[in-house]
Chains A and B, each alone.
Chain A
Amino acid sequence: MSESRPKRGASQWAVAWRRFRRNKSGLLGGAIVIFFVFVALVGPFVVAYPARSYLSLYEGDAGTPPSFKHPFGVEDSGIDVFSETVNAAHNDLYVGLAATLITTLIGVLVGACAGYFKGVVSDVLLGVIQMFFVIPVLLLILLFARVFSVLVFKGLGLTLIVLILAFFGWSGIAFIVRGETFRLKEMEFVQAARSLGAGSYRLLFRHIVPNILSPVIVIATLNIAGFILTEVVVSFLGFGDPNTSTWGLLLNEGFGYVRTSWWVSLFPGLAVVFCVLGFNLMGDGLSDALNPRLRE
């Protein structure tokens, strides 16, 4: 057949990209995120000192302020703050991304079931989702981290923190997915698929879930920021893994000698702020770009 296919309109992702590209703060966020991902992947191979190394101590530098050799200064224990901040970027991004991946999977699954099915299943799932909203999650995260890292699962390190964060962090996505599924399941395209004989599984994961990816992507992006912040709090309070470089652990050590060495608190904190800011700006930008109500 020689006739050309009818020209298709731009896909919704192309439209979203075009809208995102015009959003300056969203682009700035994206650039910050790319920068941190680059630092996390390449940084550990480039910096002068390996993770958790006290080598500066042997060079006579301990508690020295920022200088050309040590741009972020040195901890009193002899850890070079610049190298450690870069090394920590890797681990903090790992926590943020891994926890987000797990919570997104759980959240979509639970939310879709809670929104699609009727009766007891839906009521119970909604109850569980709402329960995770009101319980003091951070307190329980700290408690879990303390008890399980010290006593039960030694050596799991950061992965344990990821699992704990994920266990307590999936309800936000689940709630949104539930609402959207509830809205979509009565719409014509789902009815049409149902009348063609599609089963529940196919309706849910072929027809409904692909149509709620936009809010899921936005919340997942914002969740990365949230998980990084939570991990920072956990490590800052001394509930994290003391053998893995994280920004929170640096801040924990810095707080111990904040009176003499302010630079140990300042620079890793700035890294957290800008990394989290990047994900938040990008999430906001995506939210504007993917929101059909704002489409002109």
Chain B
Amino acid sequence: MASLIRYIIRRLLFMIPVFLGVAILTFAVGNAAGNPIDLIRAGLRNPNPAVLRALTAYYHLDRPVWERFLYWLWDLMHGNLGVSLSGRPVISQIGPWTFTTLELQILALILAVVIGVPVGVFSSKHQYSKTDYAITTTAIFGYSMPVFWFGIMLIVIFSLWLGWLPSSGAVSVNRPWWGISFLDPIAHLILPTLVLTYVELATFVRLVRANMLEVMRQDYILAARASGLSERTVTYRYALRNAISPVVTIIGLGFGAALAGAPATETTFSWPGLGLAFTQAALTLDIPLVEGITIVITVMVLIANLITDLVYAVIDPRVTVQ
């Protein structure tokens, strides 16, 4: 237990430089984007000098860069992400987006794990069978596909040609023909979830299959078989437990990658989450908003990684000893 706690503390301490690194990178790039006042000013014909002075003071533009960074970091630590160019505080805008993003990502992740692990095990148990070839082929296509392109193709088929499912947004603006209100958000979830699940599934299936094949060759599996345990027990209690620990890492990293990939998936489906907001904010150079979203996603990815590390430590206690 003590080693587990030490391990958790070590992982938490590791996150501080990671978070600072991302903060520095984000701030530096945001800073390179230029003077925010010039951007605000570009839309005004006769800017009020008093307003400009107030803005200069607000952004601390009369101070050196490193001092501005410390001001920014100080605000960040106090939950103040600044004000976006639209004039609204970033933090109050980000809340609902975060919820919509997580709704989609977590649903897809759960589906991918629940489907991916058994399919991967099945595929490895029937290596080189027709089903195995079908599964691995489907998986490597999912692995080689731009997520958003698969989404576009599904939109073309199911929304534009067949007209079965909505192509964009999280809820309908107009009352759809199926009318019933609680089905509407579900109908909007189907295509984005399908796309995300398929792509994440592909990674899990490949990995579970490869690890299972590796583990099933080990001597202790032979020993378990020789002592007369059922194939089921050997597969799930002996092999899978050892094959699954690298998969846990990939689930964590994959969740991070999927969150970072949210701009593409959410733009495709006009899904009103952090990714779509990030794309639009970055294209309009709304730097406070971009910085805020990057920080929020980084924190979520770090939390996901921490949870992954914990699960890993529970499954495979060896990692806590160092």
Instruction: Please report A residues at the B interface, Cβ cutoff 8 Å.
Output: 127, 130-131, 133-140, 142-144, 146-148, 150-152, 225, 229, 232-233, 236-239, 251, 254-255, 258-259, 262, 265-266, 269, 272-273, 276-277, 280-281, 284
Contacts and interface: CB of A to CB of B under 8 A. Distances in A.
A269 B153 contact: yes
Interface stretch (B28-36, B96-104, B170-178): B28-36
Interface residues on B, range: 35 or more
Contacts of B267: 237
Given A262-B160, A265-B153, A265-B156, 19 more contacts: A127-B14, A127-B17, A131-B17, A131-B18, A134-B256, A136-B298, A139-B278, A139-B297, A140-B294, A146-B282, A236-B146, A238-B283, A254-B152, A262-B156, A265-B149, A265-B152, A269-B146, A269-B153, A280-B143
Interface stretch (B49-57, B73-81, B257-265): B257-265
Nearest to B267: A237
Residue with the highest number of chain A CB atoms closer than 10 Å, among B149, B261, B267: B149
B264 A233 contact: yes
Contact of B264 (A133, A237, A254): A237
Top 10 A-B residue pairs of the complex, sorted by shortest distance between their CB atoms: A136-B260, A138-B260, A269-B149, A277-B144, A276-B144, A147-B33, A146-B282, A233-B264, A131-B18, A262-B156
A131 to B, nearest CB: 5
Interface in B227-261: 253, 256-257, 259-261
B301 interface: yes
Nearest to B34: A151
B9 interface: no
B301 A135 contact: yes
Interface stretch (B19-27, B64-72, B180-188): B19-27
A251 B290 contact: no
Contacts of A135: 18, 21-22, 25, 298, 301
13 contacts: A127-B17, A130-B18, A134-B253, A136-B294, A139-B278, A139-B294, A143-B26, A236-B148, A237-B263, A238-B283, A258-B155, A266-B156, A277-B140
B145 interface: yes
A131 B305 CA distance: 11
Nearest to A287: B210
Contacts of B153: 265-266, 269
B220 interface: no
A16 to B, nearest CB: 19
Contacts of A277: 140-141, 144
A63 B241 CA distance: 55
B149 A142 contact: no
